[in-house]
């Protein structure tokens, strides 16, 4: 088939992308470790699933292995097979937030960008982090609290559905030819700004508690069971946020999709009920 293999097809950006592609009558193959009928079994840690998932598609949305500081050993054989099979477009879900002292994800991004027609998306922090089951969202609902070491540093929070919309434009060949796109929402906001917007929308007071990077890393590890090396790198991103290094905002969602990205206030209104303790 010519069509799109959507890895991470059951996840936040992937599931929204599947819907958008289907709305555009694009043949889609959803990849999952536990595939629903019509989907394909795909597991980064099981290379035997890679070739069958790729065979016959000409485009791929690539959500790399999660919480992994060194994705290349798992992803490179997949990319080599994609090249061999003539996949003309790979859209990688990368990140604007670079994990400190962690070259693996950057190597993967460089590998994708080097291939003509293949693209890296670099989204800022997801607004969906403020919803359960993300640890930030879970703590807001449970304790009315956000714990961060980022101070008043700001971030261009983006709705995962706008990332999917940007990916859809790139996977349906609407004439865009850059090798990377920084994707953000319309405005950079700090955690205290986000807490105030959530409080206003939900009626639930949300306070912000400043903690150290080390406490944040320990909390991530405890809440999710993610590997310690990844938790430390993830928490250390907050140093960059605090120092103002993640404040950038781009027009790429509008440029790619013709629509402005959703605002944090719109997101908070839509999900207001999800922050009540009984939800
Ligand atoms: N959250 C943020 O603020 C942020 C910011 C920038 C970039 N990102 C990037 O966004 C990416 C997605 O993160 P997310 O938390 O939003 O996850 P997600 O896409 O909501 O969910 C993870 C997806 O990965 C799939 N998956 C999990 N383990 C897999 C495996 N071993 N093999 C194949 N597929 C597997 C799951 O599919 P099944 O369970 O169906 O197999 C699911 O569809 C990450 O790479 C992250 O770095 C996140």
Question: Which residue segments constitute the domains of the chain, with CATH numbers given?
Answer: 4-275 (3.40.50.720)
The residue-averaged pLDDT of 118-127 equals 98
For a substitution probing ligand 1, which of 5, 7, 10, 11 has the most ligand atoms within 8 Å of its CB?
11
Percent of the chain's residues with pLDDT above 90: 96
Give the pLDDT of residue 176: 81
**Ligand 1 centroid – CA 122 distance (Å):** 14
Shortest-distance Cα residue to atom 16 of ligand 1:
12
Residue 10: CB within 6 Å of ligand 1?
yes
Whole-prediction pTM value?
Answer: 0.97
pLDDT bracket for residue 175 (50, 70, 90): confident
For a substitution probing ligand 1, which of 66, 78, 128, 180 has the most ligand atoms within 8 Å of its CB?
66
Strand partners, 31: 40
The three-class DSSP label of residue 255 is: helix
pLDDT at 111 over 80: yes
The residue-averaged pLDDT of 148-161 equals 98
Q: Judging by DSSP bridges, how do beta strands 28-32 and 4-6 pair with one another?
A: parallel
Give the pLDDT of residue 71: 97
Structural contact between residues 53 and 5, judged by C-beta atoms closer than 8 angstroms:
yes
Give the pLDDT of residue 118: 97
The residue-averaged pLDDT of 135-139 equals 95
Closest ligand 1 atom, residue 12 Cα? 20
As to burial, measured by CB atoms within 10 angstroms (0-12 exposed, 13-18 middle, 19+ buried), residue 147 is middle
Query: How does DSSP classify residue 126?
Result: B
For a substitution probing ligand 1, which of 29, 41, 54, 63 has the most ligand atoms within 8 Å of its CB?
63
Give the pLDDT of residue 278: 84
Give the pLDDT of residue 173: 80
Residue 132: CB atoms within 10 A of its CB come to 16
Residue 42: CB within 6 Å of ligand 1?
yes
Shortest-distance Cα residue to atom 38 of ligand 1:
32
pLDDT bracket for residue 1 (50, 70, 90): low
**Ligand 1 centroid – CA 66 distance (Å):** 5
Residue 64: CB within 6 Å of ligand 1?
yes
Structural contact between residues 156 and 187, judged by C-beta atoms closer than 8 angstroms:
yes
For a substitution probing ligand 1, which of 5, 7, 8, 183 has the most ligand atoms within 8 Å of its CB?
8
Residue 136: CB atoms within 10 A of its CB come to 22
Q: Over the stretch 200-251, which tens digit does the pLDDT of each residue have? A: 999 999 999 999 999 999 999 999 999 999 999 999 999 999 999 999 999 9
Give the pLDDT of residue 277: 83
Shortest-distance Cα residue to atom 6 of ligand 1:
95
**In this predicted model, which residue has the larger pLDDT, 9 or 176?**
9
């Amino acid at each position: 088939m010519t069509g799109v293999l959507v890895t991470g097809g059951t996840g936040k950006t992937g599931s929204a992308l599947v819907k958008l592609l289907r709305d555009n009558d694009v043949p889609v193959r959803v990849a999952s470790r536990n595939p629903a009928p019509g989907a394909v079994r795909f597991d980064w840690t099981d290379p035997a699933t890679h070739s069958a998932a790729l065979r016959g598609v000409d485009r791929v949305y690539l959500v790399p292995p999660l919480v992994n500081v060194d994705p290349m050993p798992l992803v490179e054989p997949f990319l080599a097979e994609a090249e061999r099979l003539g996949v003309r477009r790979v859209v990688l879900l990368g990140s604007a937030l670079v994990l400190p002292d962690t070259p693996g994800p950057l190597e993967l991004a460089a590998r994708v960008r080097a291939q003509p027609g293949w693209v890296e998306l670099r989204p800022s922090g997801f607004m969906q982090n403020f919803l359960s089951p993300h640890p930030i969202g879970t703590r807001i609902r449970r304790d009315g609290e956000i714990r961060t070491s980022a101070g008043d540093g700001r971030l261009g929070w983006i709705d995962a559905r706008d990332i999917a919309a940007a990916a859809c434009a790139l996977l349906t060949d609407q004439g865009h030819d850059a090798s990377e796109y920084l994707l953000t929402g319309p405005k950079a906001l700090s955690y205290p700004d986000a807490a105030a917007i959530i409080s206003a929308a939900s009626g639930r007071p949300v306070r912000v508690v400043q903690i150290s990077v080390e406490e944040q890393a320990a909390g991530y590890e405890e809440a999710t069971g993610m590997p310690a090396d990844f938790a430390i790198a993830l928490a250390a991103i907050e140093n960059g946020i605090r120092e103002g290094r993640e404040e950038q905002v781009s027009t790429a969602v509008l440029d790619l999709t013709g629509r402005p990205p959703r605002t944090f206030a719109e997101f908070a209104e839509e999900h207001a009920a999800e922050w009540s303790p009984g939800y």
